[in-house]
Structure 1
């Protein structure tokens, strides 16, 4: 995803309202709803200046979560529960072997949502390249971090099309961020086969383990990811153009599908 305009702040300036160090809280494996409620409580406290910026690190039991733009045709066919959430985007899966990071931070004014998303992407790109996926980058029109189909994964079982390695879904209320990013480490891809993940049916999903041909644990991926995230938010890691392809925006596709559905019922 390339920015439609220059960011509000210089690239080397922090996007955070606070200069205090980030607090990292490891939640272990936690039920999605429980983690969401915890996020919401923290975000309310952060908006009231009762706590400082917090980064939550968590792994969820298998669950689907449906963002605001999810269509009925995206929904799972395997009976796994779906939680409707207040983030952007469409449906995705969370589960064992996936590293999930929720930044609960107050953004500097004026709030720049696009720049925040791009900084999250930059952090993931930096981390996965450090781990060995050196061709990871962006697809213009789609959020997240991708590996191009021209890259041959170390594991022959890996998908062959452009494939998503890291996903984003955010919400910003009163200048405070919620939700965040998910990085596939050593999870199965089975659950993705029962949904139209992120509303995208012309590309695939992958994991660090498949790309590198070895087991990559959450603990191994967490270290470079948290370091890069801190650097990106602070402006020490500069957002660069890592775009290697362009594709239709699934959010716009969902909006158009809803418009047509409403028109058909009028």
Structure 2
């Protein structure tokens, strides 16, 4: 069975362990990341699309391994970044507790929401309109094969983005994601960006969810990431005005590119 590493949105992440590819031909690192803005899309087909992109990268790695000694030119693995919004949906990670969803089927239907038990790390979270969801499908061997470094990179990109809006954001030890009032002893720590990823043979999927203009009332029907004593917030809540989602996407991209050491490109139609 291929090794997998999972981050947790609410719990300390275990120490990173190196899982090198079996000996094979080495491909040249590809730091080009192709951006796709999917708009508002249903959760299930987007999850399936991520799985297809991940499977394609793993197939490239397998072909390179099998090509050892054949003299064949190794292939570079691709990298993708998906930006999207979802209709109201609750997702529960592998380490989550189903009882952290406080709605039954009738309650979900009444709020126009769906529910999926998925294969990322972490507990339960909410995705919905007005939230920027980012799904990087990256081969970390093209960048830095360290899951801790990857998660801290995603967090740092969001922290730098929020600073552009005049918000001081940071990390709370043991709690993956980005927080306001994050300093020890602060009176009202609140999460603005949740994260949970899967990593197979150093290829990532799932990612982050940044509350921009999100209807925060939906978080009242879950125990977000299993955390009972901290709040959630959004850019709109903090700034008192709606922020164009495309503006936030465009401001986040340079930070991701710089911190990953990537060239993010968006194909023209």
Q: TM-score, normalised by structure 1?
A: 0.75
Identify the residue that residue 139 of structure 1 maps to in structure 2: 172
Counting only pairs closer than 5 Å after superposition, residues 97-112 of structure 1 correspond to structure 2 as 97-108=130-141, 111-112=145-146
Decide which of 102, 106, 117 is 2:151's aligned counterpart: 117
- Shift in Å at residue 72 of structure 1? 3.1
Identify the residue that residue 30 of structure 1 maps to in structure 2: 41
User: Which structure has the larger Rg?
Assistant: 2
1:4 and 1:169 mapped to 2: Cα distance? Answer: 14
Counting only pairs closer than 5 Å after superposition, residues 82-93 of structure 1 correspond to structure 2 as 82-93=115-126
1:149 and 1:102 mapped to 2: Cα distance? Answer: 25
Identify the residue that residue 227 of structure 2 maps to in structure 1: 200
Structure 2 residue 210 is matched with structure 1 residue 183: yes
Gaps spanning 5+ residues in structure 2: where?
1-10, 19-27, 61-74, 264-269
Identify the residue that residue 47 of structure 1 maps to in structure 2: 58
Output one character per residue of 1:180-208: Cα deviation in whole Å (capped at 9) or x when no partner: 01100011101100100110110000000
Identify the residue that residue 114 of structure 2 maps to in structure 1: 81
8 Å contact from structure 2 (residues 16, 148) kept in 1: no
Identify the residue that residue 210 of structure 1 maps to in structure 2: 237
- Shift in Å at residue 215 of structure 1? 1.0
Number of residue pairs aligned between Structure 1 and Structure 2: 218
Q: TM-score, normalised by structure 2?
A: 0.74
- Shift in Å at residue 22 of structure 1? 1.4
- Shift in Å at residue 76 of structure 1? 2.7
Alpha carbons of structure 1 residues 188 and 5: separation in structure 2 relative to 1, 3 Å: same
8 Å contact from structure 2 (residues 83, 132) kept in 1: yes
1:149 and 1:233 mapped to 2: Cα distance? Answer: 24
- Shift in Å at residue 174 of structure 1? 2.0
Structure 2 residue 78 is matched with structure 1 residue 67: no
